[in-house]
Amino acid sequence: MSTALFDELARLATEQRNPASMAIDDASIEEALHIINAEDHLVPIAVRREIPHIADAVRLIVAAFSKGGRLLYVGAGTSGRLGVLDASECPPTFGTPPDLVQGLIAGGKEAVFRSREGVEDVEQAGADALEDVGLSPADVVCGIAASSRTPYVLGALAHARSVGCATLFVTCAPRASVDVPADVAICPVVGPEVIMGSTRMKSGTAQKLVLNMLTTVTMIQQGKVYENMMVDLQMTSKKLEERSKRTVMTVTDLSYADASDLLTAAGGHVKTALVMHLASVGAAEAQRRLQRADGFVRKAIDVSAP
């Protein structure tokens, strides 16, 4: 029997034992929590070291969006669920179409809620998942794999490159050990997990931070944020409706009632309401200004009439 896979796994950074937690099974509850917390403090430092690469990835995503492309996350297990989570939060947060950012997970939607072991081991399945969503050369495909070796993810990235897509790879393996062709590799090395091989812990936290940065900064570059507030959110729930009113009130100093009236006049669109008030124009003119300013509120306020 070949031991190649066993040997490969034994070498992975994510499969090493952590000296700091060797006695965690004999620790008190408080001691165990402190061990975990101390290790978690290492995660943002590891992510910070990768900011130059994260910035390169954002530039690729912004360029893809400008050409009608999408961001497609591909992962398995925890990594796949994190991609699905980040993608699912973009429409309510930034008012994006549901298909602009998508998360594909080995095993399909069922695997989001219940682990399906083994489905990640087929490279072709990753390629098939991309074809199922109509992969285009304009898209950016971001593979997510803490260990850097997940076949489902590697198959998806290889297929994406063959189609001509820009590719990103988010992994917690050291950069020098990553042999995965991708336009940008993001490699926050968080060290061995508190519980050996449990990449739902530090590795998952690092990946979550990276994905948050990718989509948030991309959306800022798309004009989805004014100052530090969401201004393209959709009023699809009472919470988002009230958040919209609060945003308008915060920027304009209007009362609750006046902000509500302004939003009504703006068709429920926060950006339009802000430009109407800040530039002292009507709804139609505010919308025209926003269109000329590519959706950026700051620019729309300064856009002069033709």
- Residue 39 catalytic? no
Structure tokens at 179: 């042999």
- Residue among 8, 15, 31, 89 flagged as catalytic: 89
Q: Which of 100, 157, 150 is nearest to 130 (CA)?
A: 157
35 near 24, Cβ under 8 Å?
A: yes
DSSP symbol at 194:
S
Euclidean distance between CA atoms 268 and 296, whole angstroms: 17
In this structure, the number of other CB atoms found within 10 A of the CB of residue 47 comes to 21
Which whole-number Å values give the CA distances from 21 to 17, 40, 49, 148, 172, in the listed order?
A: 8, 12, 24, 24, 19
- What counts of helices (H) and strands (E) characterise the chain? 14, 7
- Residue 31 catalytic? no
Euclidean distance between CA atoms 59 and 65, whole angstroms: 10
- Residue among 39, 120, 123, 193 flagged as catalytic: 120
Which residue numbers are catalytic? 89, 120
